[in-house]
Structure 1
Amino acid sequence: MSRTLFATRLYEAMIDDEQLLGELAHSIRSFAEEDEAGKCWSREKAYKGYTSYASLNDLPRRDPAFDDLKRVLTAHAVRFAKDLAWGVKPKLDSIWVNLLKPGGHHSAHIHPHSILSGTLYVEVAKGSGPIRFEDPRLPMMMAAPVRDEDAAEELRPFVAVEPRPGLLLLWESWLRHEVLPGTAKADRLSISFNFA
């Protein structure tokens, strides 16, 4: 007999509000054209596309669609916190937009000073790079044998999730993740966020 210990949870939901997703897509494209500080930061960091990560910190006050999104995200974060058996109500701490050009990627990272992080995919072309999560125990697996290719998802060292429009993912902020390069010929629009 075996038991599963120390589970790492990934929350998935679909946001099926096409009007909201359309408004968010329009806003992302507008920010990508008008936000000079964000464009400059993206160029300096060799980000293939545009992100408001280091430039705009007031999206829910700046844009009514993001204020609506804030309420949606908070409701899902509260649900996930209950699933994690937390006795706290997560509060949205930061939110930013990403317009990733074809072939773009994000190297592996975590989100310090947060408890929950996530991404909402707004527009995704076929072949957009998946987000890949890393088993947090990986650095301690010094002599672990390679897993079978058909190993159960919870036993794999990496799990990739294919993006699709409306997909909302939430995870604990310490979980290392990356965006792999894709083969899509169109931009990938997403919104990332942290809860404290």
Structure 2
Amino acid sequence: MAAAAGGDGGDGPAPAAAPGRAQLFSTVVDTFLEKLVTAGSYQRFANCYRCFYKLQPQLTRSIYDQFISQLQTSIKEEIEEVKNEGNLEELFNSLDKIVEEAKDREEPAWRPSGIPEQDVRSALVPYLRKHRAHLRRALRHKEERNGRVAESVLMGRDSIAELQQLIQARQQAWQAISKEQRELIMTFQEPQ
């Protein structure tokens, strides 16, 4: 098949290999550092330290160059530390290997059916049904609890109404007794 496709039996030069993820990551980091240097131009630095720049422009340039160099070094060291701690180099290589192995496959490697919608549905529907059943149980429980609370509120209102009637009856009785006591006291105080 290679002979039919290539025409020369595969004796020609091999196609250039695509850069690996580790190489791409390094390129992105280098590009970032270049953009950082161009974004923080010397002219801005000089404007910030205008008085010092006017007195000693060569020293200002030297300080700027040292600052940029140390900043780049510091960023590179931090990125290398992250790469080492996260074992990124090995992970990038294993990803490249997985992609390379999957190139010759015709069927989808990671989807059971090959149809994304069906695969998502088959994975999510059972979970969503279980979640819906859980929510329905929780809702039923809350409704029952709210019903009990509503009943107790109504019973409390009835109890309050009965107590208000009792208070009113006792108040009226007390007022009647108080009136009788005043009348009795008045009768004793009348001059004879």
Q: More strand per residue: 1 or 2?
A: 1
Higher helix share: 2
Task: Give the TM-score taking structure 2 as reference length.
Answer: 0.18
Higher relative contact order (CA 8 A, sep 6+): 1
What is the TM-score with the length of structure 1 in the denominator? 0.17
